[in-house]
A and B are shown apart, each in its own frame.
Chain A
Amino acid sequence: MTDAPVTGSRIDEAQTAEARSLWGDVWRQFRAHKGGVAGAVIFFAIVLMIVVGPYFHDIDPQFLDIRSKNQGPSFKHPMGTDNLGRDMFAQVLAGGRISLAVGVTAMLLSLFLGTLIGVLAGFIKWLDGPLMRFTDLFLALPLLPLLLVIIMLFRDTLRNLFGPETGIFLLIVFVIGITSWMQTARIVRGDVLAVKEQEFVLAARSIGTRQQRIISRHILPNVLSPIMVSATLGIANAIITESALSFLGLGFPSDFPTWGRLLYDGVNFIAITPERVIWPGLAISLSVLSVNFVGDGLRDALDPRLRS
């Protein structure tokens, strides 16, 4: 921490001492982390833009205007057009919705799996060994090749079942979710092991609290901070993985593009319209970078040892 929050006079502190809550402290600490705040601001700006943007820039991203193909930036097309005359800005906005939706949903799935396995392994003794071996096994899998293989094999089946768009969305979210829960599970397990030996858990047990209630009421709130940090890193990881898959041609199709797919489609035209690669790439990088900074800030803010 380069800049500790300015501490007021003693009287000030005494007055606010009662009003300080845990999350208030976290928030105060987070605000002091410049990178974290900048990341949060940028990330919300990106989210706001892709949510609200299409209402202001209301060109249909799939509208073909072959006469105005491969154009540079202009007032009508702020990011130019592609080789079929589709508006790039509209495509980037639409792609961002899918990219971020994939990122958030996959993160939620991986967080759910990681927390579940971590809590079970930490709390129930006879499950610890098997579940941790299972986690080790997943950590030893070559993830990117396996992701590619799973997508190749199940793409068509799922697209037939759920329709082209939902099918591929479900598949990608699912494969990213089930291949990225391992770190969360390990961290949560470690924290659960430490928390469950503490006196308040013993106290809760001694007054006859049921297992589920001990987990939900006493254990989970105390392991929330590593889960939150994993959540931010999970979004970043999911966005990168999805765009990598799309970049290898095994993600979303061209007519339902994400940022990664836009980049992939643009690569063949870098000599004519380099903007087609730059904008989606910049969007991916900025989102991931800002989320990573938020994660960094959160990690510091949630660490009570660093709190001033």
Chain B
Amino acid sequence: MLNFTFRRLMFAVPTLLVISFIIFALLDLAPNDPTGNLPLTIPPDVREQIRENLGLGQPFHIRYMKWLEQFFINEPLNVVEQLFGFEFAGSEDRLRIRSWATRSPVVDLIVERMPQTLWVVGMSYVVGILIALPIGIISAYKQYSIFDQIGSFVSMVGFSVPTFFTGVVLIVIFSVQLQWLPSIYDTTHEVTDLSSFWVQVKQMIMPVMVLAFFNAAQLSRFVRASMLDNLNMDYVRTARAKGMSETIVLLIHVLRNSMIPVITVIALGIPQIFSGAIITEQIFRVNGLGQLLIIGIQGADIPLVQTLTFIFAVLIILFNLIADVLYGILDPRIRYD
């Protein structure tokens, strides 16, 4: 297993390098000028100096190498310093990836936005899993029943209807018509007592439910299919023949075996949730990572967009790796060597 993990890691590194190159090259070779938005009254030599200052004076491969160094060496060192409080030599003149729009280090911006995204996205994923599991289990156990048919239809609706439509419909119903819930997520709100906690719950309900519904729709179909695969196995018949109660057969024998593929699907879905959250954050004005990306794109803030997109790519590769390794750990029948 360790051997496999190691080999898989060795493969992930070149993939990451290629992807980082694609992202860097795409953004760099694109036909636009970062000083294009500046006033025309700026004389050409000053404009040249600004370009120089943004780090654009050097040839392409040098800038790529520098970006890699900043991303893979300098920024992790900074994070380590912040976490443990000691300083490596020369931490002052270490080059950092800076946003063109705000001139602050990109990583600081990301750290600032991370909690909102994690709260909303993480919560919605958990809620989605909690909804999907019972629905999938009951649908499979009572295959072709009314419950199963309604469940299948609802899950089909769930992943056909785009989140930006469900979100807006919820806003129309609960914020505009009934005026129960706020339509905008207030990030500055702090939870201090019970009533402010309630305000927080109220503003989180809609974004969380929109994403949770979408996730649950996809996941419940996986749970159902996986349960159906296992329900016809011989060991289930054996367990019943031994006189085990249906609850134990279903929830202990079948469910545990069915969860193996489901858990990998859950792991694979996590990075996708981050990019799906871009839309949800835009609807409810949550100022998380997705919104940061949109702002960066609209303002042509190349370093910010490069770094964020690359972080999304790292997440995808990381969770693919986790899913593969988990699958091997959970299912002893899988042999990688």
A binds B: yes
* A52 beta carbon closer than 8 Å to chain B: no
B19 pairs with A141, CB closer than 8 A: yes
Q: Please report the total number of A residues contacting B with Cβ < 8 Å.
A: 44
Q: A145-B278, A153-B26 are in contact. Are A288 and B160 (CB under 8 A)?
A: yes
The interface residues of chain A lying within 8 Å CB-to-CB of B161 are 285, 288-289
B26 pairs with A2, CB closer than 8 A: no
B160 pairs with A274, CB closer than 8 A: no
A145 pairs with B312, CB closer than 8 A: yes
Which of A90-98, A186-194, A263-271 binds B? A263-271
The interface residues of chain B lying within 8 Å CB-to-CB of A63 are none
B164 pairs with A140, CB closer than 8 A: no
Of the candidates A35, A146, A157, the one whose C-beta lies within 8 Å of that of B309 is: A146
The interface residues of chain A lying within 8 Å CB-to-CB of B19 are 137, 140-141
A243 pairs with B305, CB closer than 8 A: no
B31 pairs with A281, CB closer than 8 A: no
A78 to B315: give the CA distance in the assembly, Å.
47
* B91 beta carbon closer than 8 Å to chain A: no
A267 pairs with B168, CB closer than 8 A: yes
Of the candidates B149, B165, B271, B320, the one whose C-beta lies within 8 Å of that of A284 is: B165
B164 pairs with A289, CB closer than 8 A: no
Q: A137-B18, A140-B15 are in contact. Are A146 and B23 (CB under 8 A)?
A: yes
* A244 beta carbon closer than 8 Å to chain B: yes
A296 to B160: give the CA distance in the assembly, Å.
13
Of the candidates B159, B176, B309, the one whose C-beta lies within 8 Å of that of A149 is: B309
* B56 beta carbon closer than 8 Å to chain A: no
A143 to B276: give the CA distance in the assembly, Å.
10
A247 pairs with B156, CB closer than 8 A: no
B308 pairs with A145, CB closer than 8 A: yes
A152 pairs with B300, CB closer than 8 A: yes
The interface residues of chain B lying within 8 Å CB-to-CB of A141 are 19, 22, 313, 316
- Look across to chain B and name the residue whose beta carbon is closest to the beta carbon of A283: B165
B160 pairs with A277, CB closer than 8 A: no
- Look across to chain A and name the residue whose beta carbon is closest to the beta carbon of B275: A144
A142 to B294: give the CA distance in the assembly, Å.
14
B316 pairs with A142, CB closer than 8 A: yes
The interface residues of chain B lying within 8 Å CB-to-CB of A144 are 275-276, 278
- Look across to chain B and name the residue whose beta carbon is closest to the beta carbon of A280: B165
The 8 A CB mask of B282-319 against A (1 = contact, 0 = none) is 11000000000110011010000100110011011100
A244 pairs with B279, CB closer than 8 A: yes
Most buried by A among B22, B160, B169, B313: B160
B312 pairs with A289, CB closer than 8 A: no
A154 to B300: give the CA distance in the assembly, Å.
12
- Say how far B129's CB is from chain A's closest CB, in angstroms: 22
* A181 beta carbon closer than 8 Å to chain B: no
- Say how far B207's CB is from chain A's closest CB, in angstroms: 15
A113 to B294: give the CA distance in the assembly, Å.
29
- Say how far A178's CB is from chain B's closest CB, in angstroms: 12
The interface residues of chain B lying within 8 Å CB-to-CB of A296 are 156
The interface residues of chain A lying within 8 Å CB-to-CB of B32 are 153, 156
* B171 beta carbon closer than 8 Å to chain A: yes
Q: A153-B26, A267-B168, A274-B176 are in contact. Are A142 and B297 (CB under 8 A)?
A: no
A300 to B116: give the CA distance in the assembly, Å.
42
The 8 A CB mask of B11-33 against A (1 = contact, 0 = none) is 00001001100110011001110
Q: Could you list 7 A-B pairs, sorted by A, with CB under 8 Å?
A: A140-B19, A142-B309, A146-B23, A148-B278, A149-B297, A263-B168, A277-B168
Binding site for B on A (CB under 8 A): 2, 35, 136-137, 140-146, 148-150, 152-154, 156-157, 236, 240, 243-244, 247-250, 260, 263, 267, 270-271, 274, 277-278, 281-282, 284-285, 288-289, 292-293, 296
Other than A142-B309, A277-B165, A288-B161, give 6 A-B pairs with Cβ distance below 8 A. Answer: A140-B320, A157-B31, A244-B162, A260-B164, A263-B164, A263-B168
| 4 closest cross-chain pairs (CB), A and B | A142-B312, A153-B30, A281-B165, A289-B160
